[in-house]
Amino acid sequence: MARPRLVEPRLDTPAPDASDQTRSHRLPDALVSEQIRRLAACAAVGAGLWTYGLVMDTTVRPLTVAVPVPASSVVVEILAITVSLMMFVYVRYAPHAYDRKTDAGMLYFVLNAAGVALLNAWTGFASVSGGRGLSWNTVVILVAAMILPASPRKMLVASVVAASTDPLAAWIAHTRGAPVASFANTLVLYLPNFACAIVATLPSHVLHRIGRRLRRAQEMGSYQLVERLGRGGMGEVWRARHRLLARGAAIKLVRPELLGAGTDAETQSMLRRFEREAQATAALSSPHTIQVFDFGVTADQIFYYVMELLAGRDLQSLVREFGPVSAGRALFLLRQVCHSLAEAHARGLVHRDVTPSNIYVCRMGLDYDFVKVLDFGLVAFNGRRSLEPRSTAAAHTTTGTPAFMAPEIILGAGVDQRADVYAIGCVAYFLLTGQPVFEAEDATDLFALHLQAPAIPPSHRTEMPIPPELDALVLSCLEKDPQRRPQDAAAVLEALCRCRSGEGWDNESARTWWERHLVELAGPPDVTDALALESSLIA
């Protein structure tokens, strides 16, 4: 794997090609989708307003006004209601591209203006004795300008066409012998229409300016953000795509201030720490360690990791949804976890936050129950943190997840790979029983239990059979004294490989289980179906 590099903002960026220029003129999908949802709501509101007009013209007005409503007006209102409902259904449910829906919205906008213009002509709005006030088309034009995600040029053309429907309808009425105002008066009457048509380009300009800024903000090196997958205390995880390669990825965004960086110096130190840790993680070659493709820092000092995009479940959600796993499956999964951590320990790295939420079970090619260990974000080097404490307060802050935290981490003592061994024991306990080793109302009480209370054997907290040697191995990992535990993940892996009585789970068993319980992920791999990596965030 190529070594990731820190991405610095550069002024000498190469000129974009034609495809890049085309993309730059398009609004980001997230922004367009929001506008399309508003278009659907506007179509629903339009159907309601036209229905209100129909009811007034066919029920209320005949009782209060002697002049009957022309049948042609009722026909226009019924057609407008039908078109509005069709527009709502199309925009809301049709699986078409946003561009096509935007074009359909432009046509709907013009048709509404034409309907209003016909009603104006038939009700004498532009007659010699009438012509007071503004045409409703001014409202139609301005509302469309605020909703449709069209380019300023398209919006100007459509708005001018919509504004012209009123004088055009008046001319048609004149040719049919209806009394209308003079040409000069008609021009003055509908001048606000054309003024609104010009104003209608302003929201479009603003929307596209925001879109360009959003697109620039979404550019992470060679990757572009597509969809947010999860959010946590340290930041967000997004699904992303490479701008040149047909490869999906997951990008984790971390703001330094969320981790306590208050000054520029602390922010720079934090970013240097993340750089070292990203390089250390990327150097790990175990297939069971999450791959880091790239990392960098945005112009507004947001650090990001680019990781492989996984399809599956983290162990936390897997156990919560389907219950504790069999001993054979636990062995199958834990061996892969230890394979990842054993390499890290051999390189002098300590994960420090081995939890079910940071262990992902995937469909990987033809392999099922394929484990990936995530989030080496709290990694320590050779038993020490990669960065000195950020402040006096930070020096006394305990990092990690309380339910899976080794006693030495709680006490602030020296931390080495044996802290990960304790966490492996906690994870194994959770897999086998569906419960954490200790439970308490708050973190302080939970810390006390980790420091003092003996762990109940997992076999005593579940009705599922657990081999005695696996029971004993879990308890040995949960020893309070680090000296009495297995000394690293490699030792745990060796002990797990000696546990033969609980075997019986293999890739074929895993495939059968996935086809029964995770049908949507058991078929041909589809990166767009990848589930969120919110479990990799530290809450």
- Tokens 């999860």 — which residue? 230
Range of weakest confidence among 107-111, 199-203, 288-292, 403-407: 199-203
Residue 342: both structure tokens together: 């054993």
In the annotation, is 353 catalytic?
yes
Q: 312-390+397-536: CATH homologous superfamily?
A: Transferase(Phosphotransferase) domain 1 (1.10.510.10)
Query: In the predicted model, is pLDDT for residue 129 greater than 50?
Result: no
pLDDT, tens only, 249-263: 888 877 666 555 567
For the ranges 117-121, 255-259, 285-289, 526-530, the maximum mean pLDDT occurs at: 285-289
User: What mean pLDDT comes out for the span 369-390?
Assistant: 59
Q: What mean pLDDT value characterizes the chain? A: 78
Give residue 234's pLDDT.
Answer: 62
Cα 409–chain centre separation = 33
Q: Which of 353, 375, 416, 420 is catalytic?
A: 353
User: What mean pLDDT comes out for the span 514-521?
Assistant: 85
Q: How far apart are CA 265 and CA 378, in angstroms?
A: 20
Q: How far apart are CA 95 and CA 66, in angstroms?
A: 49
Query: In the predicted model, is pLDDT for residue 228 greater than 90?
Result: no
User: What mean pLDDT comes out for the span 143-172?
Assistant: 84
Give residue 159's pLDDT.
Answer: 86
pLDDT category, 116, cuts 50, 70, 90?
confident
Query: In the predicted model, is pLDDT for residue 218 greater than 70?
Result: no
Q: What are phi and psi of 77, to 5 degrees?
A: -65, -40
Query: In the predicted model, is pLDDT for residue 62 greater than 80?
Result: no
pTM of the model: 0.58
Counting every residue, how long is the chain? 539
Query: In the predicted model, is pLDDT for residue 35 greater than 70?
Result: yes
Range of weakest confidence among 167-171, 214-218, 390-394, 425-429: 390-394
| pLDDT > 90 in the chain, percent | 23
Query: In the predicted model, is pLDDT for residue 469 greater than 70?
Result: yes
Give residue 393's pLDDT.
Answer: 31
- Tokens 């409202």 — which residue? 139
| Domain coordinates in residue numbering, the chain | 22-210, 312-390+397-536
pLDDT category, 338, cuts 50, 70, 90?
very high
Give residue 30's pLDDT.
Answer: 66
Cα 330–chain centre separation = 31
SS (H, E, C) 126-166: CCCCCCCCCCCHHHHHHHHHHHCCCCHHHHHHHHHHHHHHH
Q: What are phi and psi of 508, to 5 degrees?
A: -65, -40
Q: What is the largest CA-CA distance in the chain?
A: 104
Give residue 266's pLDDT.
Answer: 73
